[in-house]
């Protein structure tokens, strides 16, 4: 339970409002009144350092491959990656699986199509296919998960906010990956004394602390590359992988940024001196 003690000491907030029963509260005028009571922000997330952070940060392909393994063996039984194709797994800047590996991964899945006579058939997936979702539709997904819909994970790290405040977000980013990482480590054996979760599970970092998904990461996960499968390692790897799925072009973007900023800065310096020289004759006292 080492990760839990880390979790507890690192968390910024000691207590979070769970539910608010307001009596006699001053009327909330305006159209959007009442937001104040939404305990949507949860508690401060764990600030974990990822390889992709910073202007020069890049994904570690080996880590993304481990993340894919966790997704494939754990998450994919309930969660889809609808916006990805199998070919993405072999593209530069990603997990960079070999062409053969990508073909082999795709071939494990079946996609529905129709044959030349119009009959519905299944064929093995190829790299250009979109990743096959675990459920054919949302209704089946809900039925299989006690009424809760397991969200698509393609954009998860961009669709959640872990950091709040304009300066914090400017300096550290929106904290989406940190939120996912924290959520993975936010399960405890028992909910806090007196906290009712019903059919749900307690998670320290989930807004409201009652989550439909149970704890998924356990000690001694067997990585194909021999990495020791601690819970923290798995949380970091799956988070890195989902950060890549949310933005496969992130490394390309950051590298383009350096080139663009260098060019623009040089151009600005030249223009500054041109402007100075140009105006010097006008500014000369007559």
Partner 1 sequence: MSGGHIPQEHHEPTSEAGKWLDNRLPVGGLLAHLNSFPTPKNLNWLWVFGGILAVCLVIQIATGVVLAMHYTPHVDHAFASVEHIMRDVNGGWWLRYSHAVGASFFFIAVYIHIFRGIFYGSYKEPREILWIIGVLIYLLMMATAFMGYVLPWGQMSFWGATVITQLFSAIPLVGDNILIWLQGGFAIDNAALNRFFALHYLLPFAIAGLVVLHIWALHHVGNNNPAGVPVRNDSVETAKKDTVPFTPYYTVKDLFAIIVFLIIFAMFVFYAPNYLGHADNYIEANPLVTPAHIVPEWYFLPFYAILRSIPDKLMGVVAMFAAIGVLALLPWLDTSRTRSGAYRPLFQRFFALFFVACLGLGYVGAKSPDDIIIGSVSHEKFSTEEEATAFMTQLLADDPGATVAMAQKIDFDANKVYYDVAETHLAFRYIHLGQLLTLYYFAFFLVILPALGLIERSKALPETIEDHFNAKMAKKKGVSAGATSDGGDKPSAVPAE
- Within 45-84, the residues that bind partner 1 by CB under 8 A are 55, 82-84
- In the complex with partner 1, which residue's Cβ is closer, 110 or 252? 252
Task: Provide the token pair at 157.
Answer: 């790290």
Q: Judged by CB under 8 A, which stretch of 94-102, 103-111, 156-164, 218-226 contacts partner 1?
A: 156-164
User: Of residues 91-150, which lie at the interface with partner 1 (CB under 8 A)?
Assistant: none
Distance CA 40, CA 231 (A): 26
- In the complex with partner 1, which residue's Cβ is closer, 121 or 149? 149
Name residues whose C-beta falls within 8 Å of residue 133's C-beta, 6 or more positions apart in sequence: 80, 82, 152
- Report the Cα–Cα distance between both ends of the chain, in Å, rounded: 79
User: Of residues 267-286, which lie at the interface with partner 1 (CB under 8 A)?
Assistant: 267-268, 271-272, 274-275, 278-279, 282-283, 285-286
Neighbours of 101 (CB within 10 A): 14
- In the complex with partner 1, which residue's Cβ is closer, 87 or 234? 87
Q: Judged by CB under 8 A, which stretch of 114-122, 158-166, 223-231, 236-244 contacts partner 1?
A: 158-166
Q: Judged by CB under 8 A, which stretch of 16-24, 101-109, 218-226, 229-237 contacts partner 1?
A: 16-24
Q: Give me the least distance between CB of 76 and partner 1, in Å please.
A: 19
Q: What angle do CA 54, 89, 179 make, to 5 degrees?
A: 45
Binding residues for partner 1, rule CB under 8 A, total 80
135-140: long-range contacts, CB 8 A cutoff, minimum separation 24: 135/80
Distance CA 114, CA 122 (A): 8
Q: Give me the least distance between CB of 213 and partner 1, in Å please.
A: 17
Among 1, 30, 214, 220, binds partner 1 (CB under 8 A): 30
Q: For 188, left (φ over 0), alpha (ψ -120 to 50), or beta?
A: beta
Among 61, 111, 126, 188, binds partner 1 (CB under 8 A): 188
Among 6, 173, 223, 230, binds partner 1 (CB under 8 A): 173
Q: Is 155 near partner 1 (CB under 8 A)? A: yes
Distance CA 206, CA 116 (A): 49
Among 92, 120, 194, 198, binds partner 1 (CB under 8 A): 194
**Cβ–Cβ < 8 Å for 57, 253:** no
Q: Is 212 near partner 1 (CB under 8 A)? A: no
**Cβ–Cβ < 8 Å for 208, 16:** no
């Amino acid at each position: 339970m080492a990760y839990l003690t880390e979790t507890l000491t690192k968390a910024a907030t000691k207590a979070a409002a769970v539910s608010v029963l307001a009596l006699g509260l001053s009327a909330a005028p305006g159209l959007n009144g009442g937001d104040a009571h939404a305990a949507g922000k949860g508690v401060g997330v764990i600030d974990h350092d990822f390889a992709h952070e910073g202007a020069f940060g890049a994904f570690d392909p080996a880590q993304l491959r481990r993340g894919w393994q966790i997704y494939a063996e754990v998450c994919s039984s309930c969660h889809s990656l609808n916006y990805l194709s199998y070919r993405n797994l072999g593209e530069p800047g990603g997990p960079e699986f070999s062409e053969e590996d990508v073909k082999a991964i795709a071939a494990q899945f079946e996609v529905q199509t129709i044959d030349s006579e119009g009959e519905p058939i299944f064929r093995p997936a190829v790299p250009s296919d979109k990743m096959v979702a675990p459920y054919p539709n949302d209704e089946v997904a809900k039925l299989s998960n006690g009424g809760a819909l397991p969200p698509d994970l393609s954009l998860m790290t961009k669709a959640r906010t872990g950091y709040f405040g304009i300066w914090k977000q400017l300096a550290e980013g929106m904290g989406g990956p940190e939120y996912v990482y924290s959520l993975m480590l936010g399960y405890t054996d028992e909910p806090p004394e007196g906290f009712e979760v019903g059919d749900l599970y307690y998670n320290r970092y989930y807004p409201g602390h009652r989550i439909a998904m149970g704890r998924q990461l356990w000690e001694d996960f067997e990585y194909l590359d021999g990495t020791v499968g601690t819970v923290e390692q798995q949380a970091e790897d799956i988070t890195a992988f989902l950060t890549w799925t949310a933005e496969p072009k992130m490394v390309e973007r950051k590298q383009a940024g350096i080139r663009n900023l260098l060019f623009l800065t040089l151009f600005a310096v030249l223009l500054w001196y041109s402007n100075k020289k140009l105006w010097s004759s006008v500014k000369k006292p007559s």
